[in-house]
Amino acid sequence: MTITLDGMTWDHPRGRAPLERSIERYRRERPDVAISWTARSLKDFGELPLEALAERFDLIVFDHPFVGQAAKRGLLADLTPHIPADAMAWLDAGAVGPSWRSYHWQGGIYGLPIDAAAQVAAYRPDLMARAQRQPPATFDQLLQLARDLRSDGLWVGVPAVPIDAMCMVITLAANLGRPVPTDRAPFLEREFGLEVIERVRELVSLSHPASTRLNPIQMLDLAATSDEVAYIPYTFGYTNYCRPGVDKPLRFADIVAAGNVASCGTLLGGAGFGVTTRCRNVAEAVRYGLWLCAPDYQRTHYFDDGGQPGMLQAWTDPALDAQSDGFFSGTLRTLSSAYLRPRFAGYVPFFEEGGLRTNAFLRGESSAGALVDWLNDAYAAALRAN
C-alpha cells in the first residue's frame, strides 16, 4: 500500500527546489512512499497562520517563531518519539547555531533543521571596489559608508518592509547586548528602546529610497541585477546569489558591530521541517525529514539542488564554501551566535503588528516614543494572554 505525504514549503528556489528534487531520489529508496510539495510565498511563510495549512498538508516547512502556537493548538506532531537515539545525537552535535534548538518547545520537538540562516551582511564586491570603499566593521562606519556611497552614485540598501523592520530592531537590541527577553516584559527598556529605534531610523534615512518597500529577496535581487545597491547591512543570507553562473554575484559576511561583538545577536532565520497532526504516518514523515537533514545528504544533494543546509558539516565543507564564494565561512560566526526569538503562542501576531508600526515610523508616520510604548504595552499583553 502506498504511503502519501503532501507537503507545503515556501516559494523560492532555496525552499522549493531541494524538496521537489528529493522526491524521486527518496522514492528509489522507499518505493512505497509518494511525496508531493506545494509552495507558498515568502510573506505567507512568515505570517500565514498554520491552522489552514495543518488541515490540508502532512508536512510543513515553517518558521520557528510559530512553534509555541503550533504546540498549544495541536497543529504539529511532537517528533520526539520518532527520532532514533543515533539521529538525536547527530542533530544535537551537528546543527548550525541554535537552529535545531529553535524547534524544541516545552519538552517537545516540532521541527527538524533542514535549512539555516540569520541576518547577515551582503555586498557587491565590484561596486565596492569601483567606489574604493571597504565593508564597514562598526555601526558608525556603516552610517559613514551610506553617506560616502551617495557621492559615488550608489546606495546602502536595507530591507525594511514591516517584518524586516521589526527584525532589524530585534537584531540591534541583541547586538547591543540587551536582547528582547523571551518570557517577560518589557520588550525594550524605554530609553534603550529609543536608542535602538533611532539607530534604525537614521540608517534607513540614509539608505536606498525603496528600502521600506523591499523584503530581503527583493533587495538582494535589486543588488544583483542593477548597479544601485553596493552594500546591505542586514539581510537574511541566500547562497543563491553567490553561486557560479550569477551575472552580478554578491558576497556575504558577518554583520557590523553595533555593540562590542560584531557577530553577536543577529536574528535567527532558517526553516524547519514539521509534521502535522493530520498526518497518518508520522514515523515515515520523520524518516523522510531525517533523510533530508542527514549531514552527508545536506552537503551533497541538498546544496547541489539549490538548498541552504542546516547542518554544520555542510557549512564547514571547503568545497561548498568555494562554490558559494565564501558564503559559509563568511557568515558562520554570525549564525553560530544568532539570537533565538520568542516563540510563545501569541508572539507572531504581536510581531506582525509591531512590524507594521515600525515600518510606519520609518516612513515618518509616528514618533519613536509612541512606537516604543506600543511595543512594550503590546508585548506585555501578548505574554499575559499566552
Task: In whole angstroms, give the CA distance from residue 146 to residue 376.
Answer: 31
pLDDT at 19: 98
H or E stretch covering 366: none
| Contacts of 188 by beta carbon, 8 Å cutoff, 6+ apart | 169, 173, 178, 180, 196, 372, 375, 376
Amino acid 41: pLDDT: 77
3-state secondary structure (DSSP) of residue 246? coil
Please state the pTM of the whole predicted model.
Answer: 0.95
Per-residue confidence (pLDDT) for residue 218, from 0 to 100: 96
DSSP three-state, residue 227 = coil
Q: Is the peptide bond before 13 cis (omega within 30 degrees of 0)?
A: no
The per-residue pLDDT for 47 is 64
Could you tell me how many residues make up the chain?
A: 386
Same fold, 3-117+268-331 and 119-267+346-385: yes
- Residue 14 vs residues 240, 271, 308, 378: alpha-carbon distances, Å: 7, 10, 6, 34
Structure confidence at residue 270 (pLDDT): 94
C-alpha cell at 68: 509555541
Distances 283 to 85, 112, 277, 300, 354 between C-alpha atoms, Å:
14, 13, 12, 25, 38
In this structure, what C-alpha cell is assigned to residue 170?
530585534
Of 377, 384, 353, the residue nearest 188 (C-alpha):
377
**Looking at domain 3-117+268-331, which CATH architecture does it have?**
3-Layer(aba) Sandwich (3.40)
386 residues of the chain, pLDDT tens digit each: 899 999 999 999 999 999 999 999 999 999 999 999 999 876 766 566 788 888 899 999 999 999 999 999 999 999 999 999 999 999 999 999 999 999 999 999 999 999 999 999 999 999 999 999 999 999 999 999 999 999 999 999 999 999 999 999 999 999 999 999 999 999 999 999 999 999 999 999 999 999 999 999 999 999 999 999 999 999 999 999 999 989 999 999 999 999 887 778 889 999 999 999 999 999 999 999 999 999 999 999 999 999 999 999 999 999 999 999 999 999 999 999 999 999 999 999 999 999 999 999 999 999 999 999 999 999 999 999 98
CATH of 119-267+346-385, one of 3.10.20.90, 1.10.10.10, 3.40.190.10, 3.40.50.150: 3.40.190.10
Domain boundaries of the chain, sorted by first residue: 3-117+268-331, 119-267+346-385
Residue 165 backbone zone (phi > 0: left; psi -120 to 50: alpha; other: beta) = alpha
> 193-204 burial string, b = 16+ CB within 10 Å, else e?
bbbbbebbbebb
Compute the distance between CA of residue 192 and CA of residue 13 in angstroms, rounded to an integer.
Answer: 39
Q: What type of residue is 310? A: G
Cell of 141: 562606519
For residues 25 and 35, give the distance between their C-alpha atoms in angstroms, rounded to a whole number.
11
Sign of the C-alpha dihedral computed for residues 28, 33, 38 and 43 taken in this order:
negative
What is the DSSP code (8-state) at residue 383? H
Q: Which one-letter amino acid corresponds to residue 363?
A: R
200 — alpha (psi -120 to 50), left (phi > 0) or beta? alpha
The confidence score (pLDDT) of residue 261 equals: 76
